[in-house]
Structure 1
Amino acid sequence: MFKKTSTLCMILLLGASLAACGGNNKANNAAAPAGNATTPTTEAKTETGYAPKELKVQFVPSQNAETLEAKTKPLEKLLGDQLNIPVHVTVSPDYNTIVEALSSKQVDVGFLPPNAYVLAHDLRQSADLLLQAQRFGVKDETGEPTEEKVDFYKAMIIVKKDSDIKSIKDLKGKKIGWQDVTSSAGYVFPAAEMKKAGIDPDTDVQGITIKGHDAAIMALLNGQVDAVAIFQDARNTVKKDVPDVFEQTRAIHFTTPIPNDTISVRSDMSQEWREKISQAFIAITEDPEGAQIVKDIYTHVGYEVGDDSNFTPVREYAEAVGQKIK
């Protein structure tokens, strides 16, 4: 049984130890932090910050990592062509690993969701906001995308169509599938809103960690859990394999809007290279080929210059579930 309180304590303890030793979660050969753990990122120090001679980029996929490994190569080439330096894009097993990799300077650029960005920026002071992603909006009723690019999304809690769970208050005593506790859509925002409704996500439900929103949906369909917290509308990620997924499930709750994911850079990156990297990502999404690659990897359809004040609600929700960010 997943015990959220224990997990949060472990993360807080890890946060302290990571600052000293640079480790976090388990990784394997297919999903390891970028760069060798004993070799710092190749870089040239300047008076105004670090200028990478090769750029190391890392992200956590919202779906099966194995299906995305091959898609990172085209992104490496596109970024390399824009920046005129070698680029290495790798997949991380979780966001805490990216935060630590940025802190230990093993990674230069991280795709960080809102809560992981706040953790890296506020608590670890190891990353700065560069860009905020844009996605197409999603219709609550159908899960279909709109034609409007937006800088926010929602989390949702879904159950099977024939479930007796009608609202989040009915989750008491049920099994719910969470993502990592730093996942904004997969834990923080749904858990905070459960607390507002009088349901303690630590003690009133049996939480089970599931890696990947697509895997969470499959766990729900297979009867392993009674409900899952996912980003809106992650059901589209399994529609190819389960065409009637929308008919088999229904949403019982949508959260308040969540700021879209960030592209964050290590905090000592030079201003010159911050601008180069920003321009490179924006240029890639303005090209049809590049836009499709980025969309396939991370469902982003564009980027805009980030504003840290957009993440104030994220800080408030993190505190609501007991996460230390300062």
Structure 2
Amino acid sequence: MRKTLIASGAVAMLALGLAGCASSDDAADAAGATEWPESITLSLVPSVEGEDLAEALGPLTDYLSEGLGIEVEGVVATNYAATVEALGADQAQVVITDAGSLYNAIEQYDAKLIARDVRFGATSYAAVAYTNNPDKYCDDEPVMATYDASGIELSYCNGLEEAGASATGQGPKGVEAFEKLAGAKVALQAATSPAGYQYPVVAMRDAGIDTDADIEQIPVEGNNNAVLAVANGDAEVGFGYWDARTTVTSEVPDIAEKAVAFAYTEMIPNGGVAVANSLPADLVEELATLLDEYADSSEEAATVMFDLVGLSDWTTDTAEDEITRYGEILAQFQG
């Protein structure tokens, strides 16, 4: 009996020893999984060029380096697609990029969306349908509302905005009017433009309009020219971002009379920040917090942010469903 007990005790001790080894191995694996790298690389497409670039990028990377306690290096991508390629090749672990590239990074490389771009207080915007024929497309009298970003009063109908109030630009609204587009000349931008082509075309198709056969497409370059085509009578309807009419007020002071906004498409997402899935979760969490707080960290930070990437803020409210929807729309225009 004693021999049996000793043997049993030996087995028990061996089992405990193996369990101890397993626990140690698990702990080591867990520790390795959360170990921070000595440095990370951030890739972006800046708004500035040439010799101003290092000066513009430095304050952001310095701020992130100090906050994280590791080196953050900034590199410039030639275009938004290049940021995704850099992430996939592990040449960058953080990318600041547009909505389409965020979608591709998530789908192709399982990247994590951690922040969204904020412009003028919003993370998304609508494409706007403008017309010089409000009698046809408006079910009510146009009203004037203020576009706060520029302080200009502009015209809206179909309940898009409240008279005398600040315009909100929230869509979709008024898209039922697209059913009246058959036979119209419509100013459309390049097929790669979300506000000037993609979202408007999807909205028109949803309203039963064959955009190849039912309308005459008037090709234009840029949002300003889409508005000018309507103001000058070259097209009955044109599409641009909210609110592109502010870009032509010096040329057309009475643009509110010559181009009335009558519909908003569904919202188009701004870009944002995505990270490689190889980064430790606690590092990603801290990085997201730092980005969320950057614009308010100093007066210089707010200026740098606007000059570097044309933004007023980042937010950790990522609304990833908007990015997913953008990907669905993008797929309709890819071969």
TM-score using structure 2 length:
0.58
1:279 matches 2:251: no
* Distance in structure 2 (CA, Å) of the matches to 1:50 and 1:221: 56
Aligned counterpart in structure 2 of residue 308 of structure 1, from 320, 323, 328: 320
Aligned counterpart in structure 2 of residue 58 of structure 1, from 29, 44, 53: 44
The superposition leaves residues 234-277 of structure 1 with CA deviations (integer Å, 9 ceiling, x where unpaired) of: 33355567665545533242112344432222443443442343
The superposition leaves residues 128-171 of structure 1 with CA deviations (integer Å, 9 ceiling, x where unpaired) of: 211023344xxxxxxxxxxxx44432121335x47998454426
What number of residue pairs does the alignment pair up?
A: 255
Q: Does structure 1 conserve the Cα–Cα contact (< 8 Å) formed by 2:191 and 2:333?
A: no
**1:103 Cα deviation after fit:** 3.0
**What residue ranges of structure 2 are gaps of 5+ in the alignment?**
1-31, 66-70, 138-176
Q: Does structure 1 conserve the Cα–Cα contact (< 8 Å) formed by 2:115 and 2:314?
A: no
TM-score using structure 1 length:
0.59
Q: What is the match of residue 190 of structure 1?
A: 200
What percent identity do the matched residue pairs reach?
A: 25
1:156 matches 2:128: yes
Which one has a bigger Cα radius of gyration? Answer: 2
Distance 1:100 1:204, change over 3 A: farther
**1:53 Cα deviation after fit:** 3.3
Superposed, 1:1-326 pairs within 5 Å as: 47=33, 51=37, 53=39, 55-59=41-45, 68-69=48-49, 72-84=53-65, 85=71, 87-88=73-74, 90=76, 92-93=78-79, 95-122=80-107, 124-125=108-109, 127-136=111-120, 149-159=121-131, 161=132, 166=137, 167-168=177-178, 169-170=180-181, 172=183, 174-181=185-192, 183-202=193-212, 204-205=214-215, 206=217, 208=219, 210=221, 213-214=223-224, 217=227, 227-237=237-247, 239=249, 245-286=255-296, 287-296=298-307, 297-315=309-327, 317-318=329-330, 321=332
* Distance in structure 1 (CA, Å) of the matches to 2:103 and 2:42: 21
Distance 1:267 1:290, change over 3 A: same
Q: CA RMSD in A?
A: 4.1
Distance 1:240 1:196, change over 3 A: same
**1:82 Cα deviation after fit:** 1.1
**Helix, strand or coil: the match of 1:154?**
strand
* Distance in structure 2 (CA, Å) of the matches to 1:172 and 1:50: 61
Q: Does structure 1 conserve the Cα–Cα contact (< 8 Å) formed by 2:99 and 2:323?
A: yes
* Distance in structure 2 (CA, Å) of the matches to 1:105 and 1:203: 46
* Distance in structure 2 (CA, Å) of the matches to 1:109 and 1:48: 17
Q: What is the match of residue 20 of structure 2?
A: none
**1:175 Cα deviation after fit:** 4.9
